[in-house]
Structure 1
Amino acid sequence: MERHGISVEIKNIPVLDPEFTPILRFNQAFLKTASKPVSIAVERADGQMATTHTYIHGTPEMAEADRYYIDRLVKTELWMKGGFRIYVNDKDVCDYLKSVYRKGGAREFDWDYFANVFEHPFEIIYTDQVPESMDIAKPMGGHLEGCRIGFDAGGSDRKVSAVIDGETVFSEEVVWFPKITADPDYHYDGIVSALKSAAAHMPRVDAVGVSSAGVFINNRTMAASLFLSVPKELYDAKVKDIYIRAIRDTFGDIPYAVYNDGDVSALAGTMSLNDTNVLGIAMGTSEAVGYVNEEGCITGWLNELAFVPVDANPEAMEDEWSGDIGCGVKYFCQDGVIKLAPRAGIELDESLSPAEKLKVVQKLMEEGDRRAAQVYESIGVYLGHTLAYYYEKYGFRYVLLLGRVMSGKGGDLLLETCQKVLNDEYPEAAAGFQLTLPDEKFRRVGQSMAAASLPG
């Protein structure tokens, strides 16, 4: 098939989405004929850099393909690593990026989002000398000595564990409603209540670790769906330091750490596998991702792969939040199932919630319905192509697949199809990493226990 003037060859095509065009296959085809060097660096907190040396065509007839390739590349680096400043050594590329990363531009959402997350205006700078990559990974987790609390803040419930020398002596799960509550004191009181509940089961508290959905920089909550309803002025005043305040107000000056729940899931994976270099992908309400590197460190990268492009089809489904198309959030969570079900001939009652719609398809799958099987097979093809792309970016040794989309017979078929695509189309990637599902040891470790191990 042809995309933006580039001919893309694909062997494995999703039966319910024949126009799906894996971004990796597009990139590979694009680079075969590109010869003009371009370097781009994305700067994030503490002067860290993510630098890419690549090529474009640099000719008028290939301008559309060049712009598309650069747009998707920069988008990927921003949501994988995070950043507020882009350096580029090509004037035309720089001018193009400035035209889209601005108010009213095609990437206004990203421009505004990263400016708020990093509390710095989003900038694009032309320079002859692009800075080289620099990462500062932090060795976090695996510390089980002493009396520790692990707190896991979810959108529908909060979990807390009291852990003494690696043994969970108490755990509690409480239903709460953070996403629809505008008063940040509700969230603060819920966090403190959980911390005190765990503390009551230990002689003292030596450290507290927090796992929460969102973007965290230096333990501060820079963006998080849990606080979706909190007004901006209250968010800045009471939410950005909410976990820090709750811990200090309750226990004083003790070690603590606050990390994205995806990273903590990956950390729990390393603890259960007794190995490192793990990418964790939870396919549930969204695509939540975390990564622990070869050294067993949490990198500080965003890993928000839900907003990383995976499909070069110009008619791909739009994400309502960012306004972009072809990103992981519409492929690797319950939205992906809901998108494909009608194409398979499964009518879903629009009065149902997304989670309830997923259950309808899961029930059909358990009953052996061929239409439901096509849904999971198609997602398995998506995943096979996309994991090869992620592997190129991360170089992981394990992929831990989690979340409600992976449950039951559907998850088994999805995994089987994904492995077939990898073996058939990306044999080097297939040989480089192992797909794995949570085992009993992982379930025993749990998210909140892994969180308890975060502070050193």
Structure 2
Amino acid sequence: MNRYGIQFQVKNSPSLDPEFMPILKFNRAFLQSAKKPVSFAVERSNGQVAVCNTFIHGTPDMREADHYYADRLVKSMLWLQGGFKVYVSGDEDVYNYLKETFSLNGKRAFDADFMAGVYEHPFEVVFCDKVPEEKGASQAIGRHMNGCRIGFDAGGSDRKVSAVIDGESVYSEEVVWFPKTNSDPDYHYDGIVAAFKSAAEKMPRVDAVGVSSAGIYIDNRTMVASLFLKVPKEQFDAKVKDIYIRAARDVFGPDIPLVVCNDGDVSALAGAMGLGENNVLGIAMGTSEAVGYVDEHGNITGWLNELAFMPVDANPDAMEDEWSGDIGCGVKYFSQDGVIKLAPRAGIQLDESLSPAEKLKVVQKCMEEDQEGAKEVYRSIGTYLGHALAYYYDLYHCKHVLLLGRVMSGKGGDLILEEAKRVLADEYPECDGKLFPSLPDEKTRRVGQSAAAASLPEV
């Protein structure tokens, strides 16, 4: 394959997407001939900094390749680790390109605006002689079992709540709701309150409340979340930013211990609790690609882990994500969107009047009937995943990858895992014996998202 004059070989290509260019393959081929040192750093909340020391070519004939590499790398750092300020050292041309690209009028205006909103700080790109030093702030997460606890899991199509006493779930309920299509924040608030009250009725008291919710949360406040996609900005600021704080306070009083966490991190926690190990990357493939990570010490890193918007495909004709306007990002490969994208290529016609979740069910039914077209859809996603897992391993050095979500359910999930393992073994020997992708076992399923959420607050 050839991209900007960078030649690289891909032995395993998805049958339904043969032009797929794994970003890790491009990066490695690019770096073989790049010799000019450059450094990038991204600063996030509380002075935390992520650093990448790397190389570019710095020659006129490779200028486009250098720009592309820098763009994809900085974008990946922003969505992986988060940040409102990008530092660049080593090359002024690359700095000028990034400053324009990540401006509010540039190609990455969405990313710049998004990060500014998350961190409530203007986004900027600066040039410096030397980037700041790496600084993290990992923190322990969950595993608190004592007392009477409520665990709430806010999903895009259903909400789950558990009543947990000394680590044992005594009650669980799952309720269908439609948060993504509802513009009234009181709809969301009423659903959360109803769930809290339902679980509270099953226990003699409530000592703490833990919440697992899609989106980005800082100090229990909702910074960005697709659950509240239709809520107007003024209503979001007034009623959504503190929605879980208000709901817990209104039901249980102001002193109730409350922790709100991204659902990806809680997935990873549930996996770590089920496996009895740490260093777990959880990937939930459902409405989007939700990711969380529990490090080797059992802590969360404070990173964003929003891999749905991190590039995985260097193909210039890759599918565009409607929200960010960028191409080749994880959401179009590791979610129901990925299944829907590939289904017509496999001869599976989907009624356009169906919702995305209903379209996924059509393909899942074809898979249950062992239709060859459906198998090719899931094999292709497995091929994508094998290449992406090698990339994720490069970034996280994780030991376990737990694959969750609706896309991974049933026969299709088994086929995805099987194909991903095959690609990893065939093309990425550095992962052999070090990276273990799996589906959740019975013990992990019993822990569950809402039960793991219940363990978040310390009492």
**TM range, smaller chain:** over 0.9
Please give the residue correspondences for 1:23-172 in structure 2 after superposition, counting only pairs within 5 Å.
Answer: 23-89=23-89, 90-172=91-173
Query: Relative to structure 1, is the Cα distance of residues 368 and 184 closer, same or farther in structure 2, using a 3 angstrom cutoff?
Result: closer
SS at match of 1:179: helix
Match of 2:354 among 349, 352, 355: 352
* Cα shift readout 1:353-393 (whole Å, capped 9, x = no counterpart): 22222222222222222222211111111110010000000
Please give the residue correspondences for 1:333-348 in structure 2 after superposition, counting only pairs within 5 Å.
Answer: 333-348=335-350
Identify which range, 196-205 or 317-326, moves more after superposition: 196-205
Runs of 4+ deviating beyond 4 Å: none
Aligned match of 1:275: 277
Q: 1:62 deviation in Å?
A: 0.2
Letter of the structure 1 residue corresponding to residue 54 of structure 2: T
Q: 1:125 deviation in Å?
A: 1.1
Identify which range, 362-371 or 145-154, moves more after superposition: 362-371
Q: Is the 8 A contact 1:88 1:127 kept in 2?
A: yes
Give the TM-score of the pair, scaled to structure 1: 0.98
Q: 1:249 deviation in Å?
A: 2.6
SS at match of 1:385: helix
Please give the residue correspondences for 1:186-197 in structure 2 after superposition, counting only pairs within 5 Å.
Answer: 186-197=187-198
Aligned match of 1:414: 416
Query: Relative to structure 1, is the Cα distance of residues 206 and 119 closer, same or farther in structure 2, using a 3 angstrom cutoff?
Result: same
Distance 2:324 2:198 in 1: 38
Identify which range, 357-366 or 29-38, moves more after superposition: 357-366
Aligned match of 2:302: 300
Distance 1:266 1:232 in 2: 31
Aligned match of 2:260: 258
Q: CA RMSD in A?
A: 1.2
Give the TM-score of the pair, scaled to structure 2: 0.97
Distance 2:263 2:387 in 1: 25
Q: Is the 8 A contact 2:417 2:438 kept in 1?
A: no
2:199 matches 1:198: yes
Letter of the structure 2 residue corresponding to residue 73 of structure 1: L
Aligned match of 1:453: 455
Query: Relative to structure 1, is the Cα distance of residues 218 and 340 closer, same or farther in structure 2, using a 3 angstrom cutoff?
Result: same
Letter of the structure 2 residue corresponding to residue 169 of structure 1: V
SS at match of 1:105: coil
Unaligned runs of 5+ in 2: none
Identify which range, 423-432 or 262-271, moves more after superposition: 423-432
Query: Relative to structure 1, is the Cα distance of residues 98 and 46 closer, same or farther in structure 2, using a 3 angstrom cutoff?
Result: same
Q: Is the 8 A contact 2:148 2:203 kept in 1?
A: yes
2:369 matches 1:367: yes
Please give the residue correspondences for 1:317-332 in structure 2 after superposition, counting only pairs within 5 Å.
Answer: 317-332=319-334
Q: 1:173 deviation in Å?
A: 2.0
Q: 1:286 deviation in Å?
A: 1.1
Distance 2:250 2:104 in 1: 40
SS at match of 2:58: coil
* Cα shift readout 1:243-264 (whole Å, capped 9, x = no counterpart): 1122123222122110011110
Match of 2:433 among 418, 431, 434: 431
Distance 2:343 2:246 in 1: 45
Letter of the structure 1 residue corresponding to residue 60 of structure 2: P
Q: Is the 8 A contact 1:256 1:455 kept in 2?
A: yes
Aligned match of 1:311: 313
Q: Is the 8 A contact 2:156 2:287 kept in 1?
A: no
Letter of the structure 2 residue corresponding to residue 54 of structure 1: T
Q: 1:187 deviation in Å?
A: 1.8
Q: 1:283 deviation in Å?
A: 1.1
Q: Is the 8 A contact 2:382 2:418 kept in 1?
A: yes
* Cα shift readout 1:42-98 (whole Å, capped 9, x = no counterpart): 011111111000000011100010001001101111111111110111322211111
Q: 1:201 deviation in Å?
A: 2.0
SS at match of 2:129: coil
Identify which range, 33-42 or 233-242, moves more after superposition: 233-242
Query: Relative to structure 1, is the Cα distance of residues 200 and 47 closer, same or farther in structure 2, using a 3 angstrom cutoff?
Result: same
Distance 1:68 1:379 in 2: 25
Q: 1:124 deviation in Å?
A: 0.7
Letter of the structure 2 residue corresponding to residue 384 of structure 1: G
